[in-house]
């Protein structure tokens, strides 16, 4: 009987390890109810992103990462193409990921933070990827994201 219980426990442990390695973003992104999650409500702070003689505006969401990002503004970065559906820009430091959690309804023109690399991800096409925190959403001018190339990027608050 002891050998059978031990074998059952081993199978359960193996199943847990397999699930965690197969679905790491789901396994490790669980949050206790009292912690902030990747909130999708807008905080009302608007930003302006300028590059290639074009201007875009975005409204930030109310989450810890977006507030940390806003505290860094203004920023002068480099924006470049990545993966055929986005532009990226590396921040001078990583943002807080406190309270991050999974989100759904990914759509073009989301402004996100990619935790593993510490970069902004500005999507102009469909996407779905673990490791992202949605910082906000572009309001207008987002067609600039489709201009190919690498450019100097200026990001600043406008409201």
Reported as a single tens digit per residue, the pLDDT across 93-130 is 999 998 787 777 899 999 999 999 999 999 999 999 88
* pLDDT tens, position by position, 11-39: 554 444 444 444 443 333 333 333 344 44
Region 131-150 average pLDDT: 95
Domain range enclosing 78: 42-157
Considering the domain architecture, whether residues 106 and 137 belong to the same structural domain is answered as yes
Q: Which of 135, 138, 78, 131 is nearest to 108 (CA)?
A: 138
Considering the domain architecture, whether residues 4 and 73 belong to the same structural domain is answered as no
Domain count, the chain: 2
> What pTM was computed for the model?
0.73
Is the dihedral angle over the CA atoms 93, 97, 102, 105 positive or is it negative? negative
Listed as own residue / partner, the contacts of 106-110 with beta carbons closer than 8 Å and 24 or more positions apart are 108/142, 109/137, 109/138, 109/142, 109/145, 110/134, 110/136, 110/137, 110/138
User: Is there a contact between 54 and 122 (Cβ–Cβ < 8 Å)?
Assistant: no
Considering the domain architecture, whether residues 20 and 78 belong to the same structural domain is answered as no
Region 76-82 average pLDDT: 98
Q: Which of 55, 47, 50 is nearest to 151 (CA)?
A: 50
Could you tell me the pLDDT band of residue 7, with boundaries at 50, 70 and 90?
A: low
Considering the domain architecture, whether residues 103 and 83 belong to the same structural domain is answered as yes
Q: Is 36 a member of any domain?
A: no
Q: Is 35 a member of any domain?
A: no
Q: Distance of CA 142 to CAs 37, 38, 47, 108, 132, Å?
A: 26, 23, 13, 9, 19
Considering the domain architecture, whether residues 58 and 121 belong to the same structural domain is answered as yes
Q: Is 57 a member of any domain?
A: yes
Considering the domain architecture, whether residues 24 and 47 belong to the same structural domain is answered as no
Looking at the predicted structure, is the pLDDT value of residue 136 above 60?
yes
Q: Is 37 a member of any domain?
A: no
């Amino acid at each position: 009987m002891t050998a059978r219980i031990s074998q059952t426990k081993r199978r359960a442990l193996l199943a847990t390890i397999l699930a965690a390695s197969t679905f790491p973003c789901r396994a490790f992104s669980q949050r206790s109810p009292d912690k902030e999650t990747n909130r999708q409500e807008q905080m009302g702070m608007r930003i302006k992103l300028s590059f290639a003689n074009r201007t875009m505006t975005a409204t930030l969401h109310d989450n810890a990462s977006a507030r940390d990002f806003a505290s860094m503004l203004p920023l002068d970065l480099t924006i470049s193409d990545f993966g055929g559906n986005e532009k990226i820009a590396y921040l001078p430091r990583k943002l807080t990921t406190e309270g991050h959690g999974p989100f759904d309804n990914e759509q073009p023109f989301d402004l996100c933070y990619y935790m593993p690399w510490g970069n902004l991800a500005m999507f102009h096409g469909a996407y779905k990827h673990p490791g992202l925190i949605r910082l906000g959403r572009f309001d207008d001018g987002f067609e600039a994201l489709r201009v190919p190339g690498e450019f100097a990027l200026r990001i600043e608050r406008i409201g």
